[in-house]
Amino acid sequence: LGNVPQLDEVHSPAVDLIQAARSPGSLLKPMLYGLALEEGLITPSQFLVDVPVTFGQFSPANFSENFSGAVPADLALSRSLNVPFVLLLREYGIAKMHAHAKSFGCNFINKPADHYGLSLVLGGCEVSLEQISSWFLGLARQQRYYYERQGQYAPNDWKIPTLLVDQFRDPLLDLDPRPGPIGAGAGHQI
């Protein structure tokens, strides 16, 4: 428990839950979905497999403990199905997903990719609320300014935000025609 005022100092009541490392649960699924869309590995309406699977000792299951057979990718994301995303990570590549998560600022993911394995996409790693919120904020920034920037991208969109008091930064500065790992089209689908 964090920030419990009734506890005395010996029990560490002041915990910064925004910067604390914790499992992201399913919050990395949209990242994998976007990366796979951007690479052309999937389309939103493409069917993904949701059946019982086992990889050595690892047998991912859905929260509902049911399986849906063939499920469109966008529905698999909206229903947060585990098995389709484990299989998608296997096809996309654990090392690539690991590298992208780190490049997006998830710096608590600090062990080699094979340490996390396929559980990476199911929250088998640690991120902070600040780190994962920054990723979703970057996605929102990219969508918000896409037309204003005439289809160009700002590399700072994906950086952890900083508080700038009384400062205005022109959203048309430092633009790049290349989207980076996830472009506006894939971002819109997410």
Structure tokens at 19: 């910067």
pTM metric for this prediction: 0.87
**pLDDT tens profile 45-89:** 999 999 999 999 999 999 999 999 999 999 999 999 999 999 999
Q: Which of 122, 121, 127, 62 is nearest to 94 (CA)?
A: 121
- Alpha carbon distance 133, 128 (integer Å): 8
**Average pLDDT score, the chain:** 88
DSSP state of 11: G
CB 89 within 8 A of CB 99: no
Q: Which of 29-43, 143-157, 168-182 has the highest mean pLDDT?
A: 29-43
CB atoms closer than 10 angstroms to residue 46: 15
Q: For residue 180, is pLDDT > 70?
A: yes
Q: Which of 75, 119, 78 is nearest to 97 (CA)?
A: 119
pLDDT for the residue 172: 65
